[in-house]
Amino acid sequence: MKNKLFEKYFVFSPYFWLVLFFFIPLAIIFKISISVSEWGMPPYQDIFLFDNGFKINTTFENYIYIFSDYYYIGSFVNSLILALISTFFCLLIGFPLAFYIATSNIRLRNILLVLIVIPFWSSFLLRVYAWKIILQNNGILNVILLNVGITSEPLQLLYNQYAVIMGIVYTYLPLMILPLYGYLNKFDLNLIEASKDLGLNRIKTFFKVILPLSVPGIVAGSLLVFIPVVGEFIIPEMLGGSDRLYYGKILWEEFFVNRNWPGASALAFSGIIILVLPIVIFQILYSRWSQKNEI
């Protein structure tokens, strides 16, 4: 009987975790987002007032404020575009790599997998900072370009959206490769041979056999890259310039610089809804589709 009880709690522990560290914080953010701002600490009023009897003190002003100013929506759109482009490049680079690793012999495969994972052992911040050193005006890359004679003066490689995309693709590539590898690892190579045997050349075989059968791996890897990149703060902050503002940075500024907690919370909460809702719908549709297609 005692064991049963333990089992019950054990099974529910992930939900407990989810409630404690996801739903409760989310509820707090939502609560702040509908509070009225004021100067003070904390910089918002309580939503339940008891001074002259019970009164609910909420407002949707913060949401209206955010959605009426293109500054905020624009940053969110920028982040979505950034995430789309980065995911695309991660996929473009990651897919061939993952396929190569999955189809190479076991010894080489293990070495390559370790090489993919090794960057995780060093600090994320240091890795991004290293790119700053490589790309800066008197950095390694510019020195090489100058000495080879490709350019006559240093190129402005840093502090623009391209540096941001590069940094993100570099950092998030393993998150694309590992789930893809996990899926492609189970790929029956005979299927590729069968396709060629039936008269399809390499390119057609890729589009008719390899790609459709890799959809689950592609979806998993892409979501793993796309979702965190939308809210990415550090990389745009370190490598990006003022040419483009991103959601993560605006959120940070709203919260810490402007000390507009309700506004920042409204921004955060809207971001989650805008991002999560379509993904949840996509996941439901996708799982139905993949069940139907037996992939």
Partner 1 sequence: MDNNFLVIENISKSFGDNKVLENINLNISKSEFFGLLGSSGSGKTTLLRILGGFEKPDSGRVILDGTDITNLEPFDRPLNYMFQSYALFPHLNVFNNLAFGIKENFTQKEIETNVINIAELLSIEHLLNRKIKQLSGGEQQRVALGRCLIKKPKLLLLDEPLAALDKKLRSKTQLELTTLQKKLKITFVFVTHDQEEAMSISDRMAIMKNGLILECSSPEEIYENPKSLYTANFIGIANIIEIYKKDENFYSDDLGVNFKLNKELKNTKTNILLRPEKIKIQSINNLKTSSFNSFSGEILEKSYLGSFTRYEIKINNMIISVLDQNFNSNSNYNFPKGEKVICSWESESIKILED
Please identify, using beta-carbon distances, which residue of 96 and 212 lies nearer to partner 1: 212
Beta strands in the chain (DSSP E): 48-49, 55-56
Q: Does 194 bind partner 1 (CB under 8 A)?
A: yes
Query: Closest approach of Cβ 138 to partner 1, in Å?
Result: 49
CA torsion angle for 284, 285, 286, 291 (degrees, to 10)?
Answer: 90
Stretch that binds partner 1, among 37-45, 54-62, 121-129, 191-199 (CB under 8 A): 191-199
Distance CA 25, CA 162 (A): 34
Please identify, using beta-carbon distances, which residue of 49 and 191 lies nearer to partner 1: 191
Distance CA 190, CA 240 (A): 46
For residue 33, give every residue at least 6 positions away whose Cβ sits within 8 Å of its Cβ, in sequence order, or none.
Answer: 62, 63, 262, 265, 266, 268, 269
Q: Does 199 bind partner 1 (CB under 8 A)?
A: yes
Q: What are phi and psi of 132, to 5 degrees?
A: -60, -45
- Alpha carbon of residue 266 to chain centroid: 20
Q: How many residues line the site for partner 1 (CB under 8 A)?
A: 19
Judged by CB under 8 A, the chain residues 200 through 229 that form the site for partner 1 are: 200-201, 208-209, 212-213
Site string for partner 1, 135-174 (x = CB under 8 A): ----------------------------------------
Q: Does 195 bind partner 1 (CB under 8 A)?
A: yes
Query: Closest approach of Cβ 206 to partner 1, in Å?
Result: 13
Distance CA 126, CA 87 (A): 22
Interface with partner 1 by CB under 8 A: which residues? 188, 190-191, 193-201, 208-209, 212-213, 293-295
